[in-house]
Amino acid sequence: MGHKRVQGISLFRLLGMVTIVGLMWLSGGLSAAASPDDLVLSGQHSLTLAQQGDLLIAELRCAACHGAGDERPDAEKVAPNLTLSVRGLSPEYLKKFLADPAAAHPGTTMPNLAGGKTEAERAEIAESLSHFLVSQSTAVNPEGSAESDATGAVSEGRQLYHTVGCVACHGAREPQVESSLTAKPEADREDDEEEDAPPAVVETSASSGRPIAFSLGHVAAKYSASGLSEFLFQPLRIRSSGRMPDMKLTRTESRAIADYLCGEQGQKPEHPEPDAALVARGRQYFRELNCAACHAVGGISAAAPVVSLWQADTGRGCLSGVSGRHPEFLLTEPQKDAIRSALKRGPAKDTDQDRIAKTLTAFSCIACHVRDNFGGVAQEYNDYFVTSEKNLGDDGRIPPPLTLVGAKLQPAWLKKVLFDGESVRPYMATRMPQYGVSNLGHLPEILARTDIPERPALSIPSPESRSESEREREKMLRTAGRELLGDKGLNCIACHNFNGKPAPVNRGIDIMTSSQRLQSGWFSSFVRNPGTFRPRIIMPNAWPGGIAVHQTILEGNTDLQIEAIWYYLSLGTSAADPSGIRRINTKLEVGDEARTYRGRSRVAGYRGIAVGLPEKISYAFNAETGTLSSIWTGEFISVDRNGQGSGGFNPSADPIMLAQDVSFVRLANSDAPWPLLPVMTKDAKVNPDPLYPKNQGYQFRGYSLESLMIPTFRYQTGAIEVEDRTVAGKASDRLCLTRTLRLTTQDPQELWFRALTGEITAESEQVYRVGRLRLRIPAVRTKLRPVQGNAGSSELLLHLEVPRGSSTMEMIYEPL
Amino acid sequence: MNRCRTNGTQVLFCLLLGVVFGATSAIGEEVGERWGTEVREREYYPIVSLPMPADTVIEAGAFAVLPDGRTAVGTRHGEIYLISGVDDEKPVPEYQLFATGLDEIFGLTWKDGVFYVTQSCELTRVSDTDKDGRADRFDTVSDAWGYANYHEYAFGSEFDAEGNQFVTLGLSESYYSHALYRGFVMKVSPDGKTTAFASGLRSPGGVGLDEHGALFYIESQGPWNCSCSLKAISSGSFHGHPASFEWYPYAPELGPVPEQPKSGSRIVQEKQRVSQLVPYAVVFPYIRMGRSITGFSVNRTGGKFGPFENQLFLGDYTLSVLMRATTEQVNGVWQGACYPFREGLSTGVLNVEFTAGGHLLAGGTNRGWPVRGIKPFALERLQWSGRMPFEINRITIEPDGFRLTFTKPVDAVTAGALETYSLTSFTHPYHGAYGGPEVDRSAIAVKSVSLAEDGMSATIVVDRLVQGFVYEFDLGRLRSGDGEELLHRNAYYTVNEIPSALGSQSP
């Protein structure tokens, strides 16, 4: 398309895909549509001509100068906070914009206030105003600034722009690219081979407008990348009216999009130091032109209102099309007609439905959501709505309909979604924007009033006041509900995550959030026939024609089954898992550095410590007794993350088990029995010798992570301080552990170290074997003796004569 | 999961954290009524979710605020994260993984550049000696207690004025004391010397100092505890559950074994007989005020968090709510009141902490026990919106009644009417069965009320004050000077002692 002038408004084309025409307002919420000659607003809205006029009056903030009595619309647009914004703008752009707003930013809602002046006068006004505004402005918000991530930022910005929802209101800038969010998340997801989901074409009976597409053509000239980044991170700080909502971007994401949008023009010169004389003149212009009617700057108050909107002569002033002392808005004729129509009708007497429709249009909710017969994703943008769960179909990628949303969501949850950024659809790339309580605060109450569920609520008797029969019935229903959800029932958990545990097939909304979010009456209607709520939903109908598919549970009674599911869901996250839910065991992996993990384990006791070495050999240390108690090769450990008693670990491979009693003992004589860890049984659970390790002189002192994060354990045995460090090595080409014990004492000590127990064979004086383990010991006096009362079992004791000062001994553990 | 014993009509399954989350049958459990105040509360104390890095599980168990303003969180997975930016207007915090591989962190304190971490197995000093941002030295400060069952959780306090820390040790399987010192409070001196300090604990949920610097811990509903409560710990005190008597022979510093309490009695009677028995300081009526209350933190934000300076804020695991409590000492015994504060958190709250910026950070998980919140784990920040809620600020006892302060001036007509102060009193049995009913309930007549000139407080005289009773306030009829209803109409004062008219109240 070429470049031509129509009524002073440029027709132009965004890069790439979408042709945008007409009047576009970046900051404001409305964009004109298909042809400036016939449409007032773009988007699939449902508003009458006069209602569109109402919206324009609110967006242009006509009442700021005219006054409108008490008849102010919901969420009237508020002008940007110039104190916060100006320093983020290009100095050149600022002057150009002040001199002729629409020339700098076609489609802006900012009127030309100096239309009657000469070009030179306008330039002088703009120069003065810009000095004044800079003098009134604050530094860039440090919280919002993020350094550019240099390489990759632009492509990340491009990707974000085309997935998080910018496209819905600003149009695409490039052909759709394959998003990482559309990629298959796992290779083993079976039934994933299909093609793209069918397009979600908007099927509404709303006005067949062009897609909403607020131009961003001016943005690269307007902002420095850092200024734009700051704005995108917290748009409501500067533009509190929420037409540009908070897209829940991180600082890095904001910067990436800013880098992408600014392209090579990201650097902008600093504003010159404000000149006192120009500041003074600027202040004067600011007052004279009544900028304060919309912008709060420098404590300047607005002029008294001119003639009330409802008494205004629609042939004169702003709507006259003639330059003069009034603000000039570059409105199309249909837009003027709409305003005239609204003014002629007088103050709007909106029904709740009208207010909802206007709000959803003003904030472009209709760019993503269908409600009743209006709104929805435009065909042109459809491909930019993507998901990580392709098999969920359109419901995985297109924001949900708002039809009956006031009956669907619980009031507290609706507020959390609207104002707290809560979301239950992590798979959906498009984000639910945040518009601020001051803009949408009126909406939840109106929706709750307007949207009435078709079916009555499924009320559950209070646990504090229910009768015995109600308690019995509740128990029966919950049992049935649990069965229905599980893999032997309707298998809802195949496609719904359950209490944070991912579903095996499609990872749809966590089903156990349902009772916290949804109203039971809506739920009851929805599950009876999901397809009537969402034509392309993949959720099957479990009660087609009102007949239960599952005939054995609750005798196939449809109403009871649905009630049972709600009873069960109402347990929320406290519900017990239905059949088919897998346990979560987290595998801990070892990378380039060692990993030390404390937890209970059968291989190391309650004060167990697992150590994984990068060479893929691991051991366990019982810190209660100071004993190396287990060795294995291969993967490290899996940790139980289920239920209350989480944190226990298990070796990921079959471990070699060693004794867990204390390792160092001062035996009265060489025949004295080795003192053993007290044993508790199911019948005798109380520890009969609770000070056992300490009475043997043992005290754990902790550990240090040294090179490659390999731990050195520190403990005391009697008067000896022990440092115990084990590293990986090779013995006969096999992985082994080399354990070095460094013993420090102020006085010479004699004591025994028990190196092995079990069916021990001596391969040489210094090499012993038990089961799958070969142990090389230092050249010290040893005693291999049978273990009393345990036929065939023996224990290998080393007699240590520890000299004053520090000495070391080394042992090599070789798994076979 | 363990099946708990049958108690009258309640078949309860149990567990933890003192928690006790009653009845977790094979199907699960309805966790109880709501206050119904969430939508109003958010106008005054909005909740801001703190996003976490993708694929990161942070089940907060303990917090510490560092001198540089960062917040440290210790997790049930045994990790310590240092978080920057929790106070940002739009928080996108940065998480630095400082330490890993510890065992269930339920105590975290920062002192002189190192962390003191209470984990199930020990109290550990964790430091970063080479200053690379990762912990590399773990020194065992104390492991003086037995640990032989997963339910044997350990909670650690901050340091007291003398540099001591206190560790509360939950029972074995939440009922018994199979391992050394389970059910005790241990005192760990600055040199690491560990001594037994108090006994009779069941399933503690947090331990620390109140606004007066006195030591309290949170106890959970279960045997010998019909409701959750805040309990005042003193040297040698016994807190009601006799399972830990097993270990007095190993703790001569505690003195003789207390008399065995008689099940089915009342705590006021038993404390006459069992001299070491300390009554619950603040009872949290079951379900109305939580089902498994957990960690607490004192509001010392200098007004940044609104009107409740110096009060205790504590979480509840099951109901995902936050509550307030105030304490006072009368005749040498601690007592006080609790008040609803905020519901609608996203997960079971295990701990709370005030941040450097004066916000209240709450975190936890829903793993293991019934929880109302919808997220498996979460970190959330509560902040004061700047709007003043109309609330009961604090209730204190008088020789013949109570003094109530408010956050806004009250309307003289409703506040001056006796019927505005709807009071009932009740007590609990003191028995070995699991949980128990509220008994001996009766209406309390208000004989007179006098309002302060500024309308910020009211003093009421009641027809009787009885030791060992909880006084339940319902001020639904009260209006503020500008016609507002109370945000929360209820409060609960536990009367252990009654001050004399001459004034023996302290401090």
Best of A252, A482, A574 to substitute, by most chain B Cβ atoms within 10 angstroms, is A574
CATH of the domain at A643: 2.70.98
Decide if A572 and B29 are in contact by the 8 Å CB cutoff.
no
Strand order in the sheet with B377-382: B47-49, B377-382, B360-365, B349-354
ipTM of predicted assembly, 2 dp: 0.92
Residue of A nearest to B89 (CA): A143
Decide if B143 and A700 are in contact by the 8 Å CB cutoff.
yes
| A723 found inside a domain | yes
Q: Considering CB atoms only, which of A479, A482, A500 is closest to B376?
A: A500
Mean pLDDT of B176-204: 97
- Chain A window 508-537: which residues touch B at a Cβ cutoff of 8 Å? 510, 512-513, 516-517
Whether CATH 2.120.10.30 fits B42-382: yes
Å between B371 CA and nearest CA of chain A: 5
Question: Please, which residues have CB within 8 angstroms of residue A503's CB and are 6 or more apart in sequence?
Answer: A493, A494, A495, A496, A497
CATH class, range B392-506: mainly beta
| A494 found inside a domain | yes
A689 and A753 share one domain:
yes
Decide if B31 and A701 are in contact by the 8 Å CB cutoff.
no
Quote the pLDDT of residue B16.
Answer: 35
Identify the three-state secondary structure at position B37: coil
A727 and A796 share one domain:
yes
A733 and A783 share one domain:
yes
Q: Considering CB atoms only, which of B88, B371, B377 is closest to A574?
A: B371
Domains contained in chain A, number: 2
Pair A652, A636: CB distance under 8 Å: yes
A570 and A589 share one domain:
no
| A679 found inside a domain | yes
Residue of B nearest to A498 (CA): B376
Q: Which residues of A touch B371 (CB under 8 A)?
A: 572-574
Last residue of a domain, one of A551, A574, A597: A574
Pair A171, A188: CB distance under 8 Å: no
Residue of B nearest to A701 (CA): B140
Amino acid found at B173: E
Last residue of a domain, one of A549, A574, A599: A574
Q: Is A582 at the interface with chain B, CB within 8 A?
A: no
Question: Please, which residues have CB within 8 angstroms of residue B205's CB and are 6 or more apart in sequence?
Answer: B17, B18, B19, B155, B217, B218, B219, B220, B228, B292, B293, B294, B295, B317
* Residue among B461, B211, B458 nearest B336 (CA): B211
Q: What does each C-alpha distance from B193 to A692, B109, B425 come to in angstroms?
A: 18, 18, 44
Decide if A143 and B90 are in contact by the 8 Å CB cutoff.
yes
Decide if A573 and B150 are in contact by the 8 Å CB cutoff.
no
Decide if A598 and B151 are in contact by the 8 Å CB cutoff.
no
| A655 found inside a domain | yes
Amino acid found at A222: K
Q: Is A690 at the interface with chain B, CB within 8 A?
A: yes
Question: Please, which residues have CB within 8 angstroms of residue B174's CB and are 6 or more apart in sequence?
Answer: B2, B14, B15, B16, B18, B20, B151, B202, B203, B222
Q: Which residues of A touch B137 (CB under 8 A)?
A: 702-705
**Where along chain B do the CATH 2.120.10.30 domains lie?**
42-382
Q: Considering CB atoms only, which of B30, B76, B374 is closest to A513?
A: B374
Decide if A648 and B150 are in contact by the 8 Å CB cutoff.
yes
Number of Cβ pairs closer than 8 Å across A and B? 208
Q: Is A641 at the interface with chain B, CB within 8 A?
A: yes
Question: Please, which residues have CB within 8 angstroms of residue B440's CB and are 6 or more apart in sequence?
Answer: B425, B426, B427, B469
* Residue among A720, A732, A731, A757 nearest A811 (CA): A731
Task: Give the distance from CA B224 to its chain's centroid.
Answer: 17
Last residue of a domain, one of A518, A547, A574: A574
Decide if A251 and B92 are in contact by the 8 Å CB cutoff.
yes
A607 and A518 share one domain:
no
A618 and A750 share one domain:
yes
Residue of B nearest to A644 (CA): B368
Residue of B nearest to A482 (CA): B27
Residue of A nearest to B92 (CA): A250
| A226 found inside a domain | no
Q: Considering CB atoms only, which of B27, B134, B147 is closest to A478?
A: B27
Q: Is A597 at the interface with chain B, CB within 8 A?
A: yes
A509 and A594 share one domain:
no
Burial class (CB in 10 A: 0-12, 13-18, 19+), A748: exposed
Mean pLDDT by 10 residues, chain A (816 residues): 31 28 34 53 92 94 86 84 92 95 92 89 96 89 58 87 96 72 42 40 54 92 93 95 96 95 91 95 95 93 90 87 85 92 93 96 96 94 94 94 97 96 96 96 96 92 86 95 94 92 90 94 95 89 92 95 96 87 86 97 97 98 98 96 87 97 96 94 94 97 97 98 97 93 97 97 97 97 92 95 97 97
Decide if A576 and B135 are in contact by the 8 Å CB cutoff.
no
Q: How far, in Å, CA of B308 to CA of B297, rounded?
A: 12
Paired tokens of A531: 């397809």
Higher pLDDT, B239 or A309: B239
Q: Which residues of B touch A462 (CB under 8 A)?
A: 33
Decide if B26 and A479 are in contact by the 8 Å CB cutoff.
yes
Residue environment code for A80-108, b if the CB has 16+ CB neighbours within 10 A, otherwise e: bbbbbbbbbbbbebbbbbbbbbbebbbbb
Decide if A644 and B1 are in contact by the 8 Å CB cutoff.
yes
Residues forming beta bridges with residue A332, ordered by sequence position: none
DSSP string of A313-325, one letter each residue: -TTSGGGS-S-SS
| A808 found inside a domain | yes
Å between B205 CA and nearest CA of chain A: 14
Q: Which residues of A touch B33 (CB under 8 A)?
A: 462-464
Q: Considering CB atoms only, which of B137, B179, B372 is closest to A704?
A: B137
- Chain A window 273-292: which residues touch B at a Cβ cutoff of 8 Å? none
A639 and A681 share one domain:
yes
Decide if B39 and A422 are in contact by the 8 Å CB cutoff.
no
Q: For A726-737, what is the HEC assignment?
A: EEEEEECCEEEE
Q: Is A462 at the interface with chain B, CB within 8 A?
A: yes
Å between A767 CA and nearest CA of chain B: 34
pLDDT(B9) > 60: no
- How would residue B504 be classed by pLDDT, with cut points 50, 70 and 90? very low
Best of A186, A229, A588, A598 to substitute, by most chain B Cβ atoms within 10 angstroms, is A598
Q: How far, in Å, CA of A389 to CA of B213, rounded?
A: 53
Q: Is A473 at the interface with chain B, CB within 8 A?
A: no
List, for residues B292-341, the tens digit of each pLDDT value: 999 999 999 999 999 999 999 999 999 999 999 999 999 999 999 999 99
Q: How far, in Å, CA of A417 to CA of A402, rounded?
A: 13
Q: Considering CB atoms only, which of B178, B318, B346 is closest to A680?
A: B178
Q: How far, in Å, CA of B221 to CA of B218, rounded?
A: 10
A555 and A644 share one domain:
no
Q: What is the residue range of A563's domain?
A: 468-574
Decide if B28 and A644 are in contact by the 8 Å CB cutoff.
no
Paired tokens of A240: 């509190």
Q: Is A423 at the interface with chain B, CB within 8 A?
A: no
Please state the pTM of the whole predicted model.
Answer: 0.87
CATH of the domain at A562: 1.10.760.10
Q: How far, in Å, CA of A782 to CA of A780, rounded?
A: 6
Q: Considering CB atoms only, which of A246, A599, A680 is closest to B103?
A: A599
A498 and A531 share one domain:
yes
A569 and A657 share one domain:
no
A621 and A763 share one domain:
yes
Q: How far, in Å, CA of A435 to CA of A426, rounded?
A: 20
| A360 found inside a domain | no
Paired tokens of A137: 């402005």
Residues forming beta bridges with residue B443, ordered by sequence position: B424
Q: Considering CB atoms only, which of A500, A598, A703 is closest to B103?
A: A598
